[in-house]
Structure 1
Amino acid sequence: MKGIVFTELLEMIEDRFGYKLVDQLLQESDLPSGGIYTAIGTYDHAEMVTLVTKLSQQTQIPVSNLLRSYGQYMFTAFTRSYRPFVDRADSAFSLLSSVQHYIHVEVRKLYPDAELPHFTISQLAENHLRMHYVSERKLSDFAHGLIEGCLETYGEKATITKTNLVEDGSQVLFDIVKE
């Protein structure tokens, strides 16, 4: 997993809970990286799971809620770092529809070793988009938050129904219906 995901996670924790908690999490977690991340580095996704799990224990906020909040936060960070992707699309559905065949292609040009989830996307109606998420990392709550962040960025409202297709969470269906 690319380092930007880790650096932004630590920034979110500091923004919302303070630096003291960031320091505590890094001290108490047995992280192979030692908790030292660079935006362009590559790290095991298990380190993010460890950090979020420890954060959940400290804050009493469920891991799924933290991952979703982090997805929302991360979408804002992506809009700062990768503005052309956002500017290229005229709506949330337009951007979300381009994830697999445009955005992930461009990300792989920048970061050939990036481990990205796979999305199969279909637009069932003008106001209905379906995203089939597949990832061995099982971070669909993070993806859910990214979708919410995308909708918010475009000022759009929608109902998102998340359905686990397999018990372990490695395949999830998102039905997004604009209001």
Structure 2
Amino acid sequence: MSPITQSAGTGLGIVGDGKGWSGGSTRPDGEANQPQSIKEKRPKVFLEIELHKRKLGRVVLELFGDVVPKTVENFRCLCTGERGISAVSGKPLCFKGSRFHKIIPGKTIQGGDITKGDGSGGDSIYNQDGDGTFASENFKLKHDRPGLVSMAHKRGEEGKNCSQFFFTSKA
């Protein structure tokens, strides 16, 4: 039986100043790294979330750059908006103003369609096949607990990622 899905509605989305980069990350020894470059192993980013123009809060995410560096760089840049306008879609390469378009109750919440807003589009900082997508790097990380973020494949294109992502709400 397939899970029941529902649209998240037009009111639940990502807002903010487009500067979703928090600076440093924490090393295994507990010391904070200096924000020397974008090549940090586990950068932290954030998304400001609102519902019907009411701010709900900030979600801070630590990204696994040591496992999926290309994917992390795409997600990080989409949080900051630093790559400007897409050569593929002509739209800003930024999560700001995008919405969560799909909820599977008790499992995931999906968003990040920065081109169409309905789950049928998306873009990335890469233009691997001329369509704003890039290939999945690996599947080493398991969705075994709530709060994990992962890229969602572009609709109908298995193994191709763009800007769409999802959070796990349960393991």
The answer to whether TM tops 0.5 is no
Higher helix share: 1
Structure with a larger share of its residues in strand: 2
Structure 2-normalised TM-score?
A: 0.28
Larger radius of gyration: 1
